Structure 1
Amino acid sequence: MTEPDGGAPVRRSTAQPFFGDAPIVAPPSATEQRRLRRRARRKRILLWTSIVGIVALVAAIGAVSSLIVRSLADDEQPAAPAEEPPAAPEAEKIVFPEDAPAASAGTQPCIPLTVLSSFENAEMVANLAAGYNAEPRSINGSCVVVTPMREKSGVAADALVAGFPDTAPEQRPSVWLPDARTWLSLAQAKGAAAVPASDPTSVGTSSIVLAMPTPLAETIGWDWEPPTWDEVFDAAGDATLWADAGHAEWGAFKLGKTSPLVATSGEAAMFASFGAAHGALDALTAQSIADPAVAEEVRRHELATSHYMATPEHFLWHARQAEQSGSAADFLSAVIVDEKSVWDYNRGITSRDGVTRTTVEPPAEKLTPIYPADGFFVADNPAVVLTGEWVDAGESAAGADFVRFAGTRQGQEIVRDSGYRDLNGDLDAGVKAVANLTAEPAGALPFPADDVVAAVNDSFPEVRKRAQVLFLVDVSGSMDEPISASETKLSAAKDAIAMALDHFTAGDRVGLAAFGQAADGALVPGEVSPVADIAGTRENFLGALGGLQSVGDTPLYQAVDTFAAQQAQSWSADRITAVVVLSDGRNDTPNAPTIGAEQMLANLGHLHHGTPVLVFTLAYGADADVATLQSISSATGAHYYDATDPTKLRAVLGDLVTSF
Structure 2
Amino acid sequence: MRDRMRGTEDAPGPRRGQSSSPSTTPAPARSTPAPAAPSVGASTKPSAIDDRRDRRRRRRRRLLMWTTVVGIVVLVGSISTVSYAIVSNLTQPGPAAEEPAPAAPADAAVELIEFPQDEPAAAAGAEPCTTVNVLSSFENAQMVESLAAAYNSSPRNVAGSCVTVTTSRDKSGVAAAVVAAGFPNLSDDQKPAVWLPDSSTWVEVAQAEGATSLRAEGSSVAISDIVLAMPEGLAEAIGWDAEAPTWSAVFESAGDADLWSGLGHPEWGAFKLGKTSPLVATSGEAAMFASYGTAAGSLDALTATQVEDPDVQAAVHQNELTTSHYMATPEHFLWHARQAEASGSAADFLSAVIVDEKSVWDYNRGITSRDGVTRTQAEPPAEQLVPIYPADGFYSADNPAVRLTGAWIDPVESEAAADFIRFAHTAQGQAAARAAGYRDLNRMLDESVAQVGRLDVAQRGTLAFPGADVVTAVQASFSEVRKRANVLFLLDVSGSMDEAISPSDTKLTQARKAIDAALGHFTSGDDVGLAAFAQAPDGAMVPGLVSPVADIGGSRDAFLGALGGLSSMGDTPLYQAVDAFAAQQAASWSSDRINAIVLLSDGENDAPNAPTIGADQMLANLADMHHETPVLIFTLAYGADADVATLQSISGATGAHYYDATDPSKLEAVLGDLVTSF
Q: TM-score, normalised by structure 1?
A: 0.88
Q: Deviations over 1:541-595 (max 9, x none)?
A: 1111111111111111111111111111111000001000001110011212211
Counterpart of 2:320 in structure 1 is 302
Listed as ranges, the matches of 1:254-293 within 5 Å are 254-293=272-311
Counterpart of 1:188 in structure 2 is 207
Partners of 1:625 and 1:347 lie apart in 2 by 32
Residue type of the alignment partner of 1:529: S
Q: Deviations over 1:367-422 (max 9, x none)?
A: 00010000000110001011132222222111111111111111000000000000
Partners of 1:273 and 1:389 lie apart in 2 by 41
Partners of 2:196 and 2:525 lie apart in 1 by 36
Residue type of the alignment partner of 2:163: V
Partners of 2:47 and 2:591 lie apart in 1 by 32
C-alpha spacing 1:169/1:54, structure 2 compared with 1 (3 Å)? closer
Give 1:133's match in structure 2, choosing from 141, 152, 162: 152
Deviates more, 1:641-650 or 1:440-449: 440-449
| 1:414 and 2:393 are equivalent in the alignment | no
Counterpart of 2:374 in structure 1 is 356
Partners of 1:534 and 1:41 lie apart in 2 by 41
Give 1:44's match in structure 2, choosing from 39, 42, 50: 39
| 1:453 and 2:471 are equivalent in the alignment | yes
Partners of 1:390 and 1:468 lie apart in 2 by 45
Identity of aligned residues (%): 68
Partners of 1:441 and 1:402 lie apart in 2 by 29
Residue type of the alignment partner of 2:134: V
Counterpart of 1:400 in structure 2 is 418
| 1:347 and 2:365 are equivalent in the alignment | yes
Q: Tell whether the 8 Å contact from 2:198 to 2:399 is kept in structure 1 after alignment.
A: yes
Q: Deviations over 1:493-519 (max 9, x none)?
A: 111111111100110011111111111
Q: Deviation at 1:464?
A: 0.1
Residue type of the alignment partner of 1:191: G
Q: Tell whether the 8 Å contact from 1:585 to 1:625 is kept in structure 2 after alignment.
A: yes
Q: Deviation at 1:72?
A: 9.4
Partners of 1:557 and 1:528 lie apart in 2 by 19
C-alpha spacing 1:52/1:105, structure 2 compared with 1 (3 Å)? farther
Q: Tell whether the 8 Å contact from 1:508 to 1:534 is kept in structure 2 after alignment.
A: yes
- What SS does the corresponding residue of 1:283 show, helix, strand or coil? coil
Counterpart of 1:119 in structure 2 is 138
Partners of 2:509 and 2:53 lie apart in 1 by 72
| 1:332 and 2:350 are equivalent in the alignment | yes
Q: Deviation at 1:211?
A: 0.4
- What SS does the corresponding residue of 2:533 show, helix, strand or coil? strand
Give 1:476's match in structure 2, choosing from 463, 483, 494: 494
Q: Deviations over 1:514-544 (max 9, x none)?
A: 1111111111111111111111111111111
Partners of 2:413 and 2:546 lie apart in 1 by 53
Counterpart of 2:537 in structure 1 is 519
Give 2:220's match in structure 1, choosing from 182, 202, 206: 202
Q: Deviations over 1:78-121 (max 9, x none)?
A: xx9xxx9x999632211111111112112222112111000000
Partners of 2:386 and 2:537 lie apart in 1 by 56
Partners of 2:376 and 2:488 lie apart in 1 by 32
Partners of 1:42 and 1:97 lie apart in 2 by 43
Residue type of the alignment partner of 1:232: V
Q: Tell whether the 8 Å contact from 2:123 to 2:156 is kept in structure 1 after alignment.
A: yes
Q: Deviation at 1:45?
A: 2.4
Q: Deviation at 1:607?
A: 1.1
| 1:601 and 2:601 are equivalent in the alignment | no
Q: Deviations over 1:55-91 (max 9, x none)?
A: 4xxxxxxxxxxxxx69998xxx9xx9xxx9x999632
Residue type of the alignment partner of 2:45: S
Partners of 1:590 and 1:499 lie apart in 2 by 34
Counterpart of 2:589 in structure 1 is 571
Residue type of the alignment partner of 1:646: P
Q: Deviation at 1:41?
A: 8.2
Q: Deviation at 1:443?
A: 1.6
Residue type of the alignment partner of 2:148: A
Bigger Rg, which one = 1
Q: Tell whether the 8 Å contact from 1:42 to 1:241 is kept in structure 2 after alignment.
A: no
Partners of 2:152 and 2:601 lie apart in 1 by 43
- What SS does the corresponding residue of 2:206 show, helix, strand or coil? helix
Q: Tell whether the 8 Å contact from 1:313 to 1:352 is kept in structure 2 after alignment.
A: yes
Counterpart of 1:157 in structure 2 is 176
Listed as ranges, the matches of 1:382-393 within 5 Å are 382-393=400-411
Partners of 1:510 and 1:391 lie apart in 2 by 45
- What SS does the corresponding residue of 1:336 show, helix, strand or coil? strand
Counterpart of 1:100 in structure 2 is 119
| 1:323 and 2:323 are equivalent in the alignment | no
- What SS does the corresponding residue of 2:457 show, helix, strand or coil? coil
C-alpha spacing 1:217/1:52, structure 2 compared with 1 (3 Å)? farther
Counterpart of 2:386 in structure 1 is 368
Q: Tell whether the 8 Å contact from 2:37 to 2:240 is kept in structure 1 after alignment.
A: no
Q: Deviations over 1:17-38 (max 9, x none)?
A: xxxxxxxxxxxxxxxxxxxxxx
Q: Tell whether the 8 Å contact from 2:526 to 2:551 is kept in structure 1 after alignment.
A: yes
Residue type of the alignment partner of 2:143: M
Partners of 2:118 and 2:53 lie apart in 1 by 55
Unpaired runs of at least 5, structure 1: 1-39, 56-68
Partners of 1:565 and 1:456 lie apart in 2 by 36
Q: Deviations over 1:193-219 (max 9, x none)?
A: 1123x2311000000000000011111
C-alpha spacing 1:106/1:609, structure 2 compared with 1 (3 Å)? same
Listed as ranges, the matches of 1:4-19 within 5 Å are none
Unpaired runs of at least 5, structure 2: 1-34, 81-110
Q: Which has the higher contact order (CA 8 A, sep 6+)?
A: 2
Q: Deviations over 1:311-339 (max 9, x none)?
A: 00000000011111111111000000000
Q: Tell whether the 8 Å contact from 2:37 to 2:244 is kept in structure 1 after alignment.
A: no
Q: Tell whether the 8 Å contact from 1:51 to 1:72 is kept in structure 2 after alignment.
A: no
Residue type of the alignment partner of 1:48: S
Q: Deviation at 1:228?
A: 0.2
Counterpart of 1:616 in structure 2 is 634
| 1:148 and 2:167 are equivalent in the alignment | yes
Q: Tell whether the 8 Å contact from 1:265 to 1:338 is kept in structure 2 after alignment.
A: yes
Listed as ranges, the matches of 1:492-641 within 5 Å are 492-641=510-659
Counterpart of 1:17 in structure 2 is none
Counterpart of 2:508 in structure 1 is 490
Moved over 6 A (4+): 40-43, 69-73, 86-89
Give 2:255's match in structure 1, choosing from 218, 223, 237: 237
Counterpart of 2:445 in structure 1 is 427
Q: TM-score, normalised by structure 2?
A: 0.86
Q: Tell whether the 8 Å contact from 1:515 to 1:554 is kept in structure 2 after alignment.
A: yes
Partners of 1:111 and 1:593 lie apart in 2 by 63
C-alpha spacing 1:228/1:53, structure 2 compared with 1 (3 Å)? closer
Q: Deviation at 1:46?
A: 2.4
Residue type of the alignment partner of 1:234: E
The two structures, once aligned, show a CA RMSD in angstroms of: 2.0
- What SS does the corresponding residue of 2:449 show, helix, strand or coil? helix
Counterpart of 1:464 in structure 2 is 482
